[in-house]
């Protein structure tokens, strides 16, 4: 049975069309005295107007194409979960809005056609990775929120600056184009170490955002393994897999230590390795040394040095990865420092300078603690 309604028809099918047109604001559904299942002149006008707006033949007849587009038009972004369904791709105005949004933000969805195809799915995943959301390719509440929230952040920036595909093709000693994954530890129900009125998960989240902002200013593509919206626990292996997927050059995991003894204090940085000879990550060790050095030079945290570990994140990542334990939240001095946003800025700068130093040729190497961010921009 083919859908086909026109002026003069009536019945439940027409009533449904009237409701759809009314929902779109094209028809006054509350008018009195008219049977609500009649295809009258007002419906005819509304259908033609709708067809005009949608690039359909404006003939006033609701055939299969017009009916399908009417059906799609009711979806607003956020009304339903969106994802790539191989057998029966979703289509609708919400898919169109999503594609427009992703395109504005520099993600390649292919054609903006309102059909959720594989390319839209890939672009969505890339966006999610950029936002530190689980890259599941499903547009749900946290992704909708991120899509809305991003507007002011990218205004004035190059829309394609977030494209990881560009970054993957770049190499060399320059910072621009490098990919760095920042991993704020814990998150969701796991708050990490707590003490002195502060939580590890919250502090490292804030620090990660500060590092991310500074890296972006130097042309680095920074990805977070998680955002503040995380609701489930994210294990180390998943974080490592995420880093591998992005093709990152470096991974920085941010943590704050805790101890039953409030005297325990200081910063330490870890890289992959063990006492077994030959198993250590050389770049990881160098990078850990640089981070440790820059933080110690710029802060009054006690130097607890660098150490080799085989923790999951360090082991499962294919690139140089380090884990910074930035002081002890259980130590009043360290906790007071960490609670201060200015202090976190100093640490963020130290970390970004360490990233630069990994790639800086040794003869250009400046004194530890002396390099400032503006020296690095466009370096």
Question: Which residues contact Zn ion (rule: CB under 5 A)?
Answer: 185, 192, 255
Distance of closest approach, residue 290 Cβ to Zn ion, in angstroms = 21
Residue number, 344 or 357, with CB nearest to Zn ion: 344
Q: Facing residues of 371 across strands?
A: none
Distance of closest approach, residue 296 Cβ to Zn ion, in angstroms = 20
Residue number, 78 or 192, with CB nearest to Zn ion: 192
Distance of closest approach, residue 195 Cβ to Zn ion, in angstroms = 12
Residue number, 329 or 376, with CB nearest to Zn ion: 329
What are the Cα distances from residue 99, in Å, to 61, 68, 91, 343?
29, 19, 11, 40
- Using DSSP's 3-state secondary structure scheme, residue 67 falls into helix
Residue number, 95 or 207, with CB nearest to Zn ion: 207
Residue number, 210 or 255, with CB nearest to Zn ion: 255
d(CA 198, CA 258): 12
The residue sitting closest to Zn ion, measured at its beta carbon, is: 255
Q: What single DSSP character describes residue 362?
A: G
In 203-257 the beta strands, taken as DSSP E runs, fall at: 221-224, 250-257
Distance of closest approach, residue 284 Cβ to Zn ion, in angstroms = 18
d(CA 316, CA 279): 13
Residue number, 23 or 310, with CB nearest to Zn ion: 310
Residue 240: count of CB within 10 angstroms of its CB: 25
Distance of closest approach, residue 325 Cβ to Zn ion, in angstroms = 7
Distance of closest approach, residue 193 Cβ to Zn ion, in angstroms = 6
User: The dihedral of CA 81, 87, 88, 91: what is its sign?
Assistant: positive
Closest CA to 186 of 235, 150, 140: 235
């Amino acid at each position: 049975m083919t859908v086909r309604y026109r002026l003069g028809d009536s019945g439940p099918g027409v009533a449904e069309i009237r409701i759809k047109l009314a929902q779109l604001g094209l028809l006054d559904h509350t008018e009195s005295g008219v049977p609500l299942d009649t295809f009258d002149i007002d419906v005819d006008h509304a259908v033609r107007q709708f067809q005009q707006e949608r690039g359909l033949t404006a003939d006033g007849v609701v055939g299969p194409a017009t009916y399908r587009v009417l059906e799609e038009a009711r979806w607003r972004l956020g009304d339903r979960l969106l994802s790539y369904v191989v057998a029966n791709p979703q289509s609708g105005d919400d898919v169109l809005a999503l594609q427009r949004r992703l395109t504005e933000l520099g993600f390649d969805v292919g054609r903006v056609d309102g059909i959720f195809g594989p390319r839209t799915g890939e672009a969505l995943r890339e966006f999610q990775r950029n936002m530190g959301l689980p890259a599941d390719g499903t547009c749900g509440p946290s992704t909708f929120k991120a899509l809305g929230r991003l507007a002011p952040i990218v205004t004035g920036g190059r829309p394609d600056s977030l494209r990881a595909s560009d970054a993957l093709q770049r190499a060399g000693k320059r910072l621009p184009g490098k990919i760095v994954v920042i991993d704020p530890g814990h998150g969701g129900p796991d708050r990490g170490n707590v003490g002195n009125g502060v939580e590890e998960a919250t502090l490292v989240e804030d620090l990660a955002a500060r590092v991310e902002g500074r890296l972006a200013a130097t042309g680095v593509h920074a990805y977070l393994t998680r955002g503040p919206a995380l609701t489930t626990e994210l294990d180390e292996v998943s974080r490592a897999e995420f880093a591998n997927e992005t093709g990152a050059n470096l991974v920085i995991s941010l943590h704050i230590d805790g101890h039953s003894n409030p005297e325990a204090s200081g910063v330490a940085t870890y890289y992959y390795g063990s006492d077994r000879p030959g198993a250590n990550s050389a770049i990881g060790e160098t990078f850990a040394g640089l981070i440790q050095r820059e933080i110690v030079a710029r802060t009054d945290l006690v130097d607890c040095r660098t150490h080799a570990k085989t923790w999951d994140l360090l082991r499962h990542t294919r690139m140089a990865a380090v884990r910074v334990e930035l002081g002890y939240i259980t130590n009043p001095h360290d906790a007071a420092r960490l609670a201060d946003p200015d202090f976190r800025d100093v640490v963020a700068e130290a970390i970004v300078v360490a990233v630069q130093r990994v790639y800086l040729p040794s003869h250009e190497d400046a004194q530890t603690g002396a390099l400032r961010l503006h020296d690095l921009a466009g370096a």
